[in-house]
């Protein structure tokens, strides 16, 4: 069973995503910010990270860069964001994101993209 680290400061989105992915058999560990995410990754490395871009204390872009340069160089990281301008996507991919999902998103689409990213890693 794969473990997903969900980093999202909005409690409603955190609950919705946790519920949807959990129903599909994935284990979801949800944290509210980037500082908590880095702490969690060091304690329990996940199989995939879902990462909000705009968060207090530390942006998703900063967290992504930190994960890529340290503990998770190869784990899929999917950015979740309301920012959809081309330069926002470029910034996310430049930081090391594997995929980029713009809010609002369909929970079904999110699940499919998580499954595709996990399948790629599994080979």
Contact 26, 3 (CB under 8 A): yes
Range of the domain at 107: 3-122
Neighbouring CB atoms inside 10 A of 75's CB total 19
Chain segment 59-106, per-residue pLDDT in tens: 999 999 999 998 788 999 999 988 888 888 899 999 999 999 998 999
Q: What is the pLDDT of residue 53?
A: 92
Q: What residues pair up with 51 in beta bridges, in sequence order?
A: 7, 79
- At residue 123, the pLDDT reads 74
Is pTM, for the whole model, over 0.75?
yes
The CATH number for 41's domain is 3.40.50.2300
Split into its structural domains, the chain has a count of 1
pLDDT at 85: 87
């Amino acid at each position: 069973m794969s473990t997903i680290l969900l980093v999202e400061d909005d409690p409603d989105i955190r609950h919705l995503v946790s519920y949807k992915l959990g129903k599909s058999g994935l284990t979801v560990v949800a944290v509210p910010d980037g500082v908590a995410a880095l702490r969690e990754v060091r304690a329990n490395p996940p199989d995939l990270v879902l990462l909000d871009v705009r968060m207090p204390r530390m942006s998703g872009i900063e967290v992504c860069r930190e994960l890529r340069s340290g503990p998770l160089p190869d784990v899929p990281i999917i950015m979740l964001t309301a920012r959809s301008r081309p330069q926002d996507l470029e910034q996310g991919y430049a930081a090391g994101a594997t995929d980029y999902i713009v809010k609002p998103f369909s929970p079904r689409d999110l699940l499919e993209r998580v499954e595709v990213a996990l399948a790629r890693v599994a080979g």
